[in-house]
A = this chain, B = another copy of it.
Amino acid sequence: MSDGVVFIDGEYVKPEEAKMSIFDTGFVWGDSVYDVTSAWKRYIFMLDEHLERFQQSIEGFRLTSPYSHDEMRKICAECVERAGVDNAYIKVQLTRGVISAQSRDPRLGDPQFVAYAMPYMWIWGEEKCRDGVNLFVSHVERVSSDAIDQRFKNYNRADLVQARFEAYDHGCDDALLCGPDGNLTEGPGYNVLMVRDGKVMTPKSNVLEGVTRRSVRELCELENIPYAECKISRDELNEADEIFCSTTAGGVMPVTQLDSKPIGNGHKGILTSRIQALYWSKRAEGWHGTKVEDVLNG
């Protein structure tokens, strides 16, 4: 376990000391939600937006947080401060908690809040996140939002893990999954966007409504690039001029191959490059950022 600081049971501890009961129903029933943001040069990105989405996930799962929005803000900043890193991966999570062994009633849970800050991590390593990956369109179906509403960020991710295994089997870096209707959804931890005829398109439903994706939308508006959330079929994806993904742990990430076949000329796309460069230059300036110090002193 690398460096970092975890807030658990009301205390700040080292990652290796951060333990939960094996009986927490957040684990045994998949009854937990989470959210992830990052600090870049000590600016926490869209902190309020991430905590607001976290609150939506909490309510969507009919959980109740023991901490207020403001308290969670402070805990996140304190984790970054104590971790002593400028660029951090920041997570908040809420589990249902332990329920008496003789009951199966989720209303009796005692929700447990955990937060932590670790050194910033790149989902595919820094180089691949910057230069591009080879994604496999998996045969594993994404869990339907009719079963588990994917707008609520949660740990029921066994489909995503098996899709990743399948991608590795095929010599690819990671996976994209289609939903029950056969249309494109998302990958394990990231949204996917495609460019066709100068227009950016991304799946509308059965996906997490990514905060990083929201920032891509904003950049598109700034740059007068058409942006649409819509249905995208498997065939339409194959006809993309460019493909890229978005997530906290990597930002705007080019996809250069699909099922080991080059997309366009096989290099990072022109629009992708532009959005990626803009994203990181703005992040470096503290775009949508909340300074760690300001939260701590606020």
Tell me the A residues contacting B by CB distance below 8 Å: 1-2, 4, 6, 8, 15-16, 18-23, 25-32, 34, 61-62, 89, 93, 96, 98, 100-102, 104-107, 114, 118-119, 121, 123-125, 140-144, 146-148, 154-162, 164-165, 168, 174, 180, 188-189
Q: Contacts A102-B2, A155-B28, A157-B156 given; indicate if A61 touches B148 (C-beta within 8 A).
A: no
Q: Are B104 and A30 in contact (CB under 8 A)?
A: no
A27: nearest residue on chain B (CB-CB)?
B27
What separation, in Å, do the CA atoms of A18 and B28 have in the docked complex?
A: 14
Q: Are A114 and B148 in contact (CB under 8 A)?
A: no
Of the listed residues A8, A107, A146, A154, the one surrounded by the most CB atoms of chain B closer than 10 A to its CB is A146
Q: Contacts A20-B19, A22-B6, A30-B30 given; indicate if A104 touches B158 (C-beta within 8 A).
A: no
What separation, in Å, do the CA atoms of A104 and B250 have in the docked complex?
A: 13
A148: nearest residue on chain B (CB-CB)?
B158
What separation, in Å, do the CA atoms of A100 and B8 have in the docked complex?
A: 20
Chain B proximity of A153: nearest CB distance (Å): 11
Identify which of B121, B154, B162, B165 contacts A158 (C-beta below 8 A).
B154
Q: What would 27 A/B residue contacts be, using CB atoms closer than 8 Å?
A: A1-B23, A2-B100, A4-B101, A8-B22, A15-B23, A25-B161, A26-B27, A27-B27, A27-B32, A28-B34, A28-B155, A29-B157, A30-B155, A31-B161, A62-B165, A101-B118, A106-B164, A106-B165, A141-B147, A142-B147, A143-B144, A143-B156, A144-B147, A148-B156, A148-B162, A156-B156, A156-B159
Q: Are B104 and A123 in contact (CB under 8 A)?
A: yes
B residues within 8 A CB of A118?
A: 101
| A19-B21, A19-B22, A147-B159 given; 15 more Cβ-contact pairs under 8 Å | A1-B101, A4-B101, A20-B20, A20-B22, A22-B93, A29-B158, A29-B161, A31-B161, A61-B162, A102-B125, A106-B161, A141-B147, A147-B147, A148-B162, A154-B158
Chain B proximity of A159: nearest CB distance (Å): 4
A34: nearest residue on chain B (CB-CB)?
B28
Chain B proximity of A130: nearest CB distance (Å): 16
Chain B proximity of A255: nearest CB distance (Å): 16
What separation, in Å, do the CA atoms of A125 and B114 have in the docked complex?
A: 32
Please give me the 6 A-B residue pairs with the lowest Cβ-Cβ distance, nearest first. Answer: A19-B19, A156-B156, A141-B146, A147-B159, A141-B147, A143-B147
B residues within 8 A CB of A29?
A: 155, 157-158, 160-161
B residues within 8 A CB of A4?
A: 101
Chain B proximity of A76: nearest CB distance (Å): 16
Chain B proximity of A191: nearest CB distance (Å): 16
B residues within 8 A CB of A148?
A: 143, 156, 158-159, 162
